[in-house]
């Protein structure tokens, strides 16, 4: 099927305005404001480097020094990871408590929902699951622990299931684990729209998410979407096919809400666009302004830049790319039924949807936030005797029931405006690293070696210690052939 999207033709001129590269001065202003707001004064974005835009050092960085903490423009937690980790839907830090994190995961595991359902630990007998507490109560007690492990069962395949009552008491706060107060987490705040999908670490995050995209994508009773059913269908389709569609939906919602905000400010006389594009069509001027953060990102159509999977033969490439385009169109129609806005019509063209998804395909960084549950169990393991054995009597059954999945971190995907300007090098001078204190979804960029003022800051998009042919094959997935100094040199040696 050769899909034809009527909006591609109807909105052709607005689409080309949205996809046109913004003038260099506007781009410069945008990045200067961004750098100022992030207070990372040691960097600059330049637009005329060897590979287009790039990030450059504006001061000297020492080895291991923090270069940048970049909050995301949009990001999502992978739907399957939601079972393992309860995190703030806006900043992605873990929320609730150690007990809630463990209890919720065991509860969902017991329902057969957990992705990391398997418990690879040795089979545990009912006796060894019995949780005993000595007479002296630790910092943990609220309940008679002696009864908690009773009824734990091991299935024939070695999986341990704790009794429902124990799991419930963890979730509802009746059961407090030893030393868990060393790992405090912010309480989980419900979504202001009434959905049970989004939770937050604070009212500030809840409001910020609501205003930036969630008010349109919420499935609760106060949702501003056109149809809750349509929204659920869109989400189900994304879950079943590709969660990159959820990121695209967030981007479109974000742009619509910014557009409405700018329009309201203009009506009140509080906003004057300094870059009028089309005085005949003020709506486009506002839409372009609302779209600005997205316009800066490097993009191509998704079905053109996605790399051919290994199991697709080259002779089937055209069909494969057409199927990808059709998939995007199906997703777009579902989204349109849920959140269409006539004044922002061009955003619902396949051309724009394809370019947004392509931008994520080319620029995404994995979103990773380390799990405090892992830290908790490591802490217990590191305790001196006899505290360790005393604590382990209580914690070991939970660890066994969680299995290997006890340490699963928050995983997702996100677009970071400054990090996405960093070019790749197979001999990079910086890396996206999380430090001990980085407990949210921001990208953290650290210097791998001393970097001089004026030098370009590069990161590696891949494992850079591989042979050059393998590196080039991996980078083909990012849609380009690497021309860094290391590749050029190694390729020259091979050709000689």
Ligand X SMILES: C[S@@+](CC[C@H](N)C(=O)[O-])C[C@H]1O[C@@H](n2cnc3c(N)ncnc32)[C@H](O)[C@@H]1O
Q: What is the smallest separation between the CB atom of 485 and ligand X, expressed in angstroms?
A: 9
Give the whole-angstrom CA distance, residue 62 versus residue 7. Answer: 51
Closest C-alpha to 5, from 248, 283, 338, 354: 354
**Closest CB 253 distance from ligand X, rounded Å:** 23
Answer for which of 423, 429, 444, 460 binds ligand X (CB under 6 A) is 423
Question: Out of 235, 357, 362, 365, which residue is the one contacting ligand X (CB under 6 A)?
Answer: 362
484 touching ligand X, by CB under 6 A: yes
Residue nearest ligand X by beta-carbon distance: 52
Main-chain phi, psi angles of 91, to 5 degrees: -105, -10
Site for ligand X in 164-223 (CB under 6 A): none
Q: How far is the CB of 22 from ligand X (least distance, A)?
A: 12
Q: Is 424 in the site for ligand X (CB under 6 A)?
A: yes
- Interface with ligand X (CB under 6 A), residue from 116, 219, 349, 420: 420
| Residue 479 Cβ vs ligand X, minimum distance, rounded to whole Å | 5
Q: Which is nearer to ligand X, 47 or 64 (CB)?
A: 47
Segment contacting ligand X by CB under 6 A, of 13-21, 107-115, 275-283, 418-426:
418-426
16: how many CB neighbours lie within 10 A of its CB? 11
CB of 177 to ligand X, least distance (A): 43
Smallest distance from the beta carbon of 429 to ligand X, in angstroms? Answer: 13
Provide the minimum distance between the beta carbon of 385 and ligand X in the complex, in angstroms, as a whole number.
51
* Count of C-beta atoms within a 10 Å radius of residue 255: 25
- 298 lies in the site for ligand X, by CB under 6 A: yes
Site for ligand X, residues 454 to 483, rule: CB under 6 A: 478-480, 482-483
Tell me the two tokens of residue 118. 């398997």
Give the closest residue to 468 by CA, choosing from 482, 449, 447, 457. Answer: 482
Place of tokens 């960085």: 61
Phi/psi at 183 (5° precision): -125, 60
Closest to ligand X by CB, 364 vs 444, is 364
| CA distance linking residue 414 with residue 366, whole number of Å | 6
∠ CA 136-139-143, rounded to 5°: 75
Matching residue, tokens 């020492």:
62
| 116 or 355: CB nearest ligand X | 355
Q: For ligand X, which residue of 7, 44, 53, 87 counts as binding (CB under 6 A)? A: 53
Smallest gap from Cβ 91 to ligand X, in A, equals 23
d(C-alpha 477, C-alpha 363), whole Å? 11
52 lies in the site for ligand X, by CB under 6 A: yes
Q: Rounded to the nearest whole angstrom, what is the least distance from the CB of residue 424 to ligand X in the complex?
A: 4
Instruction: Report d(CA 477, CA 490) in Å as an integer.
Output: 20
Which two three-digit tokens encode residue 30?
């945008």
Decide whether 408 or 484 has the Cβ nearer to ligand X.
Answer: 484
Strand partners, 199: 190
Please name the helix (run of DSSP H) or strand (run of DSSP E) that holds residue 57, with its range, or none.
strand 52-57
How many Cα atoms occupy the beta-carbon half-sphere of 86 within 13 Å?
26
C-beta atoms surrounding 290 within 10 Å:
22
Nearer to ligand X, 131 or 367 (CB): 367
Of 193 and 428, which has the nearer Cβ to ligand X?
A: 428
Give the Cβ contact number of residue 464 at 10 Å: 18
Which member of 219, 223, 285, 363 binds ligand X (CB under 6 A)?
363
Question: Which residues form the interface with ligand X (CB under 6 A)?
Answer: 51-54, 298, 362-363, 420-421, 423-425, 478-480, 482-484
């Amino acid at each position: 099927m050769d899909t034809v999207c009527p909006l591609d033709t109807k909105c052709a001129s607005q689409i080309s305005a949205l996809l046109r590269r913004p003038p260099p001065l506007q781009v410069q202003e945008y990045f200067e404001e961004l750098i100022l707001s992030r207070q990372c004064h040691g960097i600059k974005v330049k637009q005329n480097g060897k590979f287009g835009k790039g990030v450059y050092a504006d001061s000297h960085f020492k080895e291991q020094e923090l270069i940048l903490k970049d909050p995301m423009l949009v990001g999502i937690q992978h739907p399957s990871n939601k079972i393992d980790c309860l995190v703030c839907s806006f900043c992605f830090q873990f929320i609730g408590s150690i007990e809630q994190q463990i209890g919720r995961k065991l509860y969902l595991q017991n329902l057969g929902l957990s992705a990391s359902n398997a418990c690879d630990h040795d089979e545990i007998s009912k006796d060894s699951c019995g949780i005993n507490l000595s007479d002296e109560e630790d910092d943990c007690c609220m309940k008679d622990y002696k009864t908690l492990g009773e009824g734990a069962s091991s299935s024939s395949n070695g999986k341990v299931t704790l009794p429902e009552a124990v799991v419930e008491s963890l979730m509802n706060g009746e059961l407090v684990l030893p030393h868990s107060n060393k790992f405090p987490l912010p309480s989980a705040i419900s979504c202001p729209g009434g959905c049970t999908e989004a939770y937050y670490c604070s009212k500030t995050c809840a409001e910020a998410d609501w205003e930036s995209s969630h008010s349109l994508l919420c499935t609760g009773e106060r949702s501003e979407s056109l149809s809750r059913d349509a929204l659920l269908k869109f989400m189900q389709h994304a879950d079943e096919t590709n969660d990159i569609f959820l990121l695209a939906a967030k981007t479109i919602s974000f742009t619509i809400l910014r557009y409405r905000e700018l329009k309201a400010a203009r009506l009140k006389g509080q906003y004057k666009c300094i870059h009028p594009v089309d005085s005949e069509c003020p709506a486009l001027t506002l839409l372009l302004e609302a779209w600005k953060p997205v316009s800066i990102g490097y993009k191509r159509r998704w079905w053109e830049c996605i790399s051919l999977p290994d199991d697709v033969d080259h002779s089937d490439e055209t069909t494969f790319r057409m199927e990808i385009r059709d998939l995007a169109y199906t997703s777009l129609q579902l989204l349109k039924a849920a959140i269409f806005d006539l004044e922002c019509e061009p955003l619902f063209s396949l051309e724009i949807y394809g370019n947004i998804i392509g931008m994520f395909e080319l620029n995404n960084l994995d979103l990773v936030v380390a799990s405090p549950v892992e830290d908790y169990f490591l802490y217990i393991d590191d305790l001196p005797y006899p505290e360790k054995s005393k604590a382990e009597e209580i914690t070991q059954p939970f660890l066994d029931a969680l299995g290997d999945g006890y340490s699963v971190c928050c995983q997702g995907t996100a677009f970071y405006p400054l990090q996405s300007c960093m070019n790749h090098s197979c001999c990079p001078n910086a890396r996206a690293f999380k430090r001990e204190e980085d407990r949210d979804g921001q990208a953290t960029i650290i210097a791998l070696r001393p970097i001089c003022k004026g030098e370009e800051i590069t990161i590696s998009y891949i494992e850079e210690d591989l042979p050059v042919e393998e590196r080039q094959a991996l980078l083909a997935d990012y849609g380009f052939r690497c021309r860094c100094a290391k590749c050029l040199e190694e390729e020259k040696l091979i050709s000689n």
